Amino acid sequence: MPLPESFLQELKMRSDLTELASNYISLKRKGRNMVGLCPFHGEKTPSFNIYTENNSFYCFGCGAGGDVITFTMRIENLDYIEAVKFLAERAGLNMPEESNYDDSMANLKKRIYEANRETARFFHRCLYSPLGKEGLDYLHSRGLTDKTIRHFGLGFAPNDHFALSNYLRKKGFKDNELISANLVYKNKSGNGTNDRFYNRVMFPIIDVRGNVIAFGGRIMTDQKPKYLNTSDTPVFSKSNNLFSLNNAKKNQDRTLILCEGYMDVIAVNQAGFQNAVATLGTALTSQQASVMKRYADDVIICYDADEAGQKATQRAIGILRRTGLNIRVLTVPDGKDPDEFIRKHGDNGGAAFYNLVNGSFNDVEYQLSKVRKKYDLKLADQRVKYVNEAINIIAKIDDDVERDVYSSKLADETGVHTESISNSLKRVRSKIKYSNRKEEFRKIRTNLSGREDKINLQHKDKPRATIAEEMLLSYMVNHPEVEQYIYSRVPNDSFVTDFNKKLYGYFVNRIEGGYEPLTSLNEDFTSDEINKIYSIVNKTIDKNPTQQALDEYISVIFEEKGKLSKEQIANTSLDEFSQQINNLKKKRE
């Protein structure tokens, strides 16, 4: 049984999306709407819109859309019922007792959290038992104190394929719960399970609310993979989480140090820097960059000094810049990683690392210094190559003042006239702007063509009908008073595309039943379908319907309905085809 309509309407009325979203992102007013950088993907130009008239959102960059419940689900990684409970508690509402709502996923996630917490305790106890001696010796050899080990809850998975699963079964956990948590997996025979982690030093991954959501483990032998991480589960996604963000979020100066791995983060933390985080066995993602943006204004990239680390740094700069974060790059000398560097300096490791932090370059200076090392500036031809590469870097800076500063520095450094550099910059920036406009045009053309529409699969073959249908749907939802006018002229089966036909019937039934059209979308449609629906609904959020506009869209739908599809043409006899042509001629007359 779904949640009562009256409860959901009351919940949404008490939950202002602008107020809620302001806890995660900065918003500015633009006409009737609020705009900001999207929290669900990395971007530099705001494309995230909150429509205050219907308390909904839509991002023109990534296509995410929905209401206040959908936003909460996405931003807090909650399922539907969890998000409703979250908002109800925030609004001072009690969940309706008479409803038998489906909270099976919420219950499963609760059990996974409990299993992970019990697992972390088990691994930590094993570390300080005879079973974990090898793991504890390893951590001590890496310079970690017992205080640091306890702070991060580090542990050890015994060299036994069944130790954890046997322990958790005794605690009352079922195999399906442990499989869902990715703590065990079914063996090849299918008759039992094996532990996912064994003979590994274990690093619990904890979210910002203090839940153990996953684990990383380092093997004690030469066996591959060296590091093994929890796969994605109902409570964990590698691309959306960061190691030790639960510690780093407490930092007051809104600066994060981005490291490559667990040991680097722990070593930096032990040296006195609690604001260190790391990705989870994958390259940095735009989602992780967006998460960092919530807790920081500045990010210091502190990757390994080897070639792979430097390539990763260049990639991270591009991803982080798109979020609007200020970036600095810390270079560890002698090709070492942060962990090695701190241990090498012993008791002075923290002070030595502090000097590296203070001496870190911003991302532009870092990139210019990397290019500069390639050339001998005493030679004219190499100086020209350096200037051209440097101009390509400086041209990507959007801020006029910042770009002018680096142009002047480049001129002073190379002896090239400022005017020459300025002219070259204008040419490069013109190419960049042209390329960006070309890409924007390609996206607009692709959207209009429907080639990338994964929800309405008939969009690409019926673009004209699709647009007309979407406009009628949008007007009908935003102005329910026109529903009778539209429905009296357009029966449900007159819609051309199946998805829009389904939506049409859904909205007609809700409006004629006296219900608000959008209240129950989260219970009736998938996440991707909801994104699509809100992209449709908000097309006319600030437009009033005129009879002329409605009649034009209705006319298009009937015209397109009368056209034969490719499949119909292939299966139509000559006489039927001639009759169809005659019908079209009569309509035009």
Phi, psi angle pair for 214, to nearest 5° = -170, 180
What's domain 5-91's architecture? Answer: Alpha-Beta Complex (3.90)
Distance CA 394, CA 391 (A): 5
Distance CA 43, CA 204 (A): 30
Token code pair at residue 70 = 């959908």
Q: For strand 28-30 and strand 33-36, is the pairing parallel, antiparallel, or unpaired?
A: antiparallel
Which regions of the chain are under pLDDT 70? Answer: 1, 98-101, 335, 444, 448, 564-589
* pLDDT for residue 103: 76
* pLDDT for residue 521: 94
pLDDT tens per residue, range 531-541: 999 999 999 98
Phi, psi angle pair for 583, to nearest 5° = -65, -40
The alpha helices in 35-97, defined as continuous H runs, are 68-76, 80-91
Token code pair at residue 32 = 């009737």
Listed as own residue / partner, the contacts of 135-143 with beta carbons closer than 8 Å and 24 or more positions apart are: 135/200, 135/201, 135/220, 138/201, 138/220, 139/201, 142/263, 142/267, 142/339, 142/343, 143/267, 143/270, 143/339, 143/342, 143/343
* pLDDT for residue 576: 59
- DSSP letters for 373-435: TT--TTSHHHHHHHHHHHHHHHTT---HHHHHHHHHHHHHHH---HHHHHHHHHHHHHHHHHH
Distance CA 292, CA 285 (A): 11
Write b or e for each residue in 203-221: b if 16 or more Cβ atoms lie within 10 A of its Cβ, otherwise e: bbbbbbeebbbbbbbbbbe
Listed as own residue / partner, the contacts of 438-446 with beta carbons closer than 8 Å and 24 or more positions apart are: none
Distance CA 510, CA 337 (A): 60
Token code pair at residue 236 = 């964990």
Do 105-236 and 463-588 agree at the fold level?
no
Would you call 198 helix, strand, or coil by DSSP? coil
- DSSP class of 360: P
Query: Are 164 and 125 within 8 A, CB to CB?
Result: no
CATH T-level assignment (fold) for domain 250-361: Dna Topoisomerase Vi A Subunit; Chain: A, domain 2 (3.40.1360)
Angstrom distances, CA of residue 542 to CA of 18, 471, 479, 532, 545: 18, 13, 11, 18, 10
* pLDDT for residue 569: 47
Task: Tell which residue, 358, 365, 360, has the closest CA to residue 405.
Answer: 365
* pLDDT for residue 306: 84
Token code pair at residue 18 = 């602008």
Query: Are 228 and 217 within 8 A, CB to CB?
Result: yes
**Amino acid of residue 427:** R
Query: Are 203 and 243 within 8 A, CB to CB?
Result: yes
Domain 463-588, CATH class in plain words: mainly alpha
Phi, psi angle pair for 475, to nearest 5° = -60, -40
CA atoms within 13 A on the CB side of 560: 22
Q: For 105-236, CATH number? A: 3.90.980.10
Environment class of 554 (CB within 10 Å of its CB; exposed 0-12, middle 13-18, buried 19+): middle
Write b or e for each residue in 442-481: b if 16 or more Cβ atoms lie within 10 A of its Cβ, otherwise e: eeeeebeebeebebbebbeebbebbbbbbbbbbbbbbbbe
Length of the chain counted residue by residue = 589
Given strand 298-302, what is the order of strands in its sheet?
276-278, 255-259, 298-302, 326-329, 361-362
* Dihedral, 315, 320, 324, 328 alpha carbons, nearest 10: -90
Distance CA 340, CA 143 (A): 10
* pLDDT for residue 71: 97
For the chain, which residues make up each domain, given as ranges? 5-91, 105-236, 250-361, 374-441, 463-588
Task: Tell which residue, 584, 586, 535, has the closest CA to residue 560.
Answer: 584
Distance CA 323, CA 38 (A): 9
